[in-house]
Structure 1
Amino acid sequence: MKLLKLAILALLVFTTSSFTTPNKLDDGYSVGDKATDFELKNVDGTTVSLADYKDAKGFLVIFTCNSCPYANAYEDRILSLNDKYESKGVPVIAINPNNPKIQPKDSFENMKKRAAEKQYTFPYLFDEKQEVFPAYGAKRTPHCFLLEKTPNGNIVKYIGAIDDNYQDADAVEVKYVENAIDAMLAGQKIDIQNTKAIGCSIKV
């Protein structure tokens, strides 16, 4: 009887610790963390990783998709961000994290069509195994992660929304991503390092 009680107690301790121990993969990255590189299929059929960009100073990794109206509202702004900052060494790396079985509009074929229609100037990658977005901690589309390339790896500098008004680009008051990139390139402190990503939940 005593052994049975000890076994039950041990099981309870194990079960409790299993549920209360934080899972870093589920939590994703925080500002200051080193982001792991990835290799994902691009809409042009090539495989892209951050290591391919030898001269980059950083990366604006944006989890986005075809189907979400929030992502659609930000699409032109994402294009503008790449146009402005790619030449300064901070290219946009767009990643579709959605499961196309749940949302068919986000299939790889539809990704290729969307990229061609909108003339994407940045890679549009497919997180087919849905392994990259949970590692980053992306929850919405769009969800931005600004990385600074350093001798110690790609360090997360900003996480969150592109700006403070998804509905109207002309009514934006705070350009979170632009301010963060400008400060990073100038070697200055980023005043706002985290914001809430506004968008559709990622389909798993």
Structure 2
Amino acid sequence: MKKIKSLGLIVILLVASAFTVNLNSDAEGYEVGDYATDFSLMNINGKMVSMADFVDAKGFLVIFTCNSCPYAVAYEDRIIALDKKYKEMGIPVIAINPNNPEVQPKDSYEKMKVRAKEKGFTFPYLLDEGQKVFPQYGASRTPHVYLLNKRDGKYKVEYIGAIDDNYSDEASVETKYVEDAVDAMLAGKNIETKTTKAIGCTIKV
């Protein structure tokens, strides 16, 4: 009887262990070379937005950002500049707020609308309602950037990480990771730095 109980306990532990591994795997999100799934999220103008809406786009800069994080705020002007520079080349910015507004009230949908108007956002600013999209991507910080290359209706991940190497002082930036990655992708060249560590605030769940 003891042997049967022990065997049963071992089986339970093995199943639990396997389940835990699967959970961790899902939580890791996309890696460079993976294909991202499209989403449909509410924009600040009340309309739903998907990548499929951008018929002529060559790719996207999907940036997880928010109102409340000082790092995200420090990068707002640079995100606007990225959109203005690359949208005309077919690579628009799509910003997504991944934070739970019940945990961080500054990131509520209404305050997103206010912030976007104050800063003059030139790109969609979407709410990840229910926080379903950011775990798929594996975003962990705000801001966190994913450069996607649109090919045959699919969205290949080409770069993941930070915008540049100095969040606190734009004038002191030495390496513009995102710009270098987009320029290389558009030129059909190899992206030398495909991943960097995203520097910012943890996503509020």
Aligned residues: 204
2:123 is aligned with 1:122: yes
Counterpart in the other structure of 2:133: 132
Deviation of 1:13 (Å): 1.8
* Cα offsets for 1:103-140 (capped at 9, x unmatched): 11100000000011111100000001100000000000
Shift of 1:5: 2.6
Q: 1:71 and 1:138 mapped to 2: Cα distance?
A: 14
SS where residue 88 of structure 1 aligns? coil
CA offset at residue 152 of structure 1? 5.9
TM superposition shift of 1:18: 2.3
Check if 1:40 corresponds to 2:41: yes
Query: Is 147-156 or 170-179 further displaced after alignment?
Result: 147-156
Q: Deviations over 1:35-63 (max 9, x none)?
A: 00000000011000000000000000000
Partners of 2:140 and 2:178 lie apart in 1 by 17
2:66 match? 65
Q: Does 1:102 align with 2:103?
A: yes
**TM-score, normalized by length of structure 2?**
0.97
Whether 1:161 and 2:162 are equivalent positions in the alignment is yes
Match of 1:8 in 2: 9
Partner of 1:113: 114
CA distance in 2, matches of 1:167, 1:4: 59
Residue equivalent to 1:77: 78
| Structure 2 match to 1:87 | 88
Alignment of 1:181 with 2:182, yes or no, is: yes
- State the 1:7 CA deviation: 1.4
CA RMSD, Structure 1 to Structure 2 (Å): 1.1
Q: Partners of 1:25 and 1:52 in 2: how far apart?
A: 27
Deviation (angstroms), 1:21 = 4.1
- Aligned-partner Cα distance in 2 for 1:8–1:74: 52
Q: For residues 35 and 112 of structure 1, what CA distance do their matches in structure 2 show?
A: 27
Residues 59-82 of structure 1: CA distance to partner in whole angstroms, max 9, x if unpaired?
Answer: 000000000000000000000000
**Which residue in the other structure is 1:17 paired with?**
18
Bigger drift between 128-137 and 146-155 goes to 146-155
**Which residue type is aligned with residue 7 of structure 1?**
G
Shift of the 48–21 alpha-carbon distance from structure 1 to 2, 3 Å rule, reads closer
Q: Please give the secondary structure, in 1, of the residue aligned with 2:116.
A: helix
- Over 3 Å counting, the alpha-carbon distance change for 1:25 and 1:17 in structure 2 is closer
Q: Distance between the aligned counterparts of 2:127 and 2:32, measured in 1?
A: 24
**TM-score (normalizing by structure 1):** 0.97
SS at match of 2:88: helix
Partner amino acid, structure 1, of 2:171: D
Of the structure 1 ranges 147-156 and 178-187, higher mean CA displacement relative to structure 2 is found in: 147-156
SS in 1 for 2:136: helix
**By how many angstroms is 1:180 displaced?**
0.2
